[in-house]
Structure 1
Amino acid sequence: VESLCMACEQQGKTNILPIEIPHFGRVVVMAFECDECGYRSNEVKEASEIRPLGVRYLLHVQKREDLNRQVIKSSFASIALPSLDFEIPPPAQRGSLNTVEGFLMRAQEDLNK
């Protein structure tokens, strides 16, 4: 789909892919890329009904490989690290598919801005 680039205001392309993720539900993955300026963005949106009470997942990181686990963070989810008294709130990094390490690296980049 032709889309307006938010960085340079030229035309870019958005690829849209609806998929079903086991234990999560239906999502729509949107990947935007601008050939003019090279800007790229990705977003994951829920396409199924949101569960009224939500779901809580707890991951104990005990070895390096645990940081490579893939996570989908919806616009309603937060990622908390109680031992560090740190939280990535719902509006931050919304609609993202990343690894645990990827979310933490992005949070660090955002804090350094």
Structure 2
Amino acid sequence: MNEEELNEMIIKCPVCSVEGKAKSIMKELEIPHFGKVLETSIQCPECGFKHSDIIALEQNDPAKYVLEINKNTLTVRVVRSQSATVSIPEVGIKVEPGPKSEGYVSNVEGILNRFEDATKKALMLFDDEESQINGKNTLNQIQELKKGNGTATLIILDPFGQSKIVSDSAEILEIPEEELNELKTGFSHIEDS
């Protein structure tokens, strides 16, 4: 990544409202094979608030990225925009964008770690027998994939084409119009009546 511009300032914390404590950093970066992005982060030492995001600065055509997860693809670089849906159908996991969605740059193993953390949180929230059985099964499947055992399919659907799986093994497909219309973007829309 080539760093182009850095903007750093001390601001009022958006959570605890303490003036002059939170550090806000914005960097414009050029990511090879992807394009220009704005990386933002806010950290407050007073209350511990942290927030980071990756915002693509270039809009592309909607795209569906597909990659087989196996022991050889765990290190493949993945850029997920805040508007992308990420799923692993064989494991039964799908994360859709919402108002608080964040973009990130990671690798396949990092995405599996995110899903693992979310599954562990769900296991603590839902204590009925069916949820526990399903959650533990999902957790086991994720952990096996992280160990390089078995295969599954990573799918990223991005209505703005700002995500990317950086690998020659990844397929890049068009999203059919009817599927595109059903995708969530994480942004609120106001419709005219």
The TM-score range, normalised by the shorter chain, is 0.7 to 0.9
CA distance in 2, matches of 1:84, 1:110: 13
TM-superposed CA distance for 1:93, in Å, is 4.2
Residue 112 of structure 2: aligned partner:
104
Question: Is 1:71 the equivalent of 2:78?
Answer: yes
Matching of residues 1-113 of structure 1 within 5 Å: 1-10=9-18, 11-48=21-58, 50-51=59-60, 53-63=61-71, 66-91=73-98, 93-111=101-119, 112=121
CA distance in 2, matches of 1:67, 1:3: 38
TM-score (norm 1): 0.77
Q: Is the 8 A contact 1:70 1:100 kept in 2?
A: yes
Q: Please report the RMSD computed on the Cα atoms of aligned residues, expressed in angstroms.
A: 2.3
Structure with bigger gyration radius: 2
Q: Which has the larger displacement, 72-81 or 91-100?
A: 91-100
Bigger relative contact order, structure 1 or 2 (CA pairs below 8 A, ≥6 apart): 2
Q: Is the partner of 2:62 in helix, strand or coil?
A: coil
Q: Which has the larger displacement, 87-96 or 23-32?
A: 87-96
CA distance in 1, matches of 2:78, 2:109: 10
Q: Tell me, which stretches of 5 or more residues in structure 1 are unaligned?
A: none
Identity %: 26
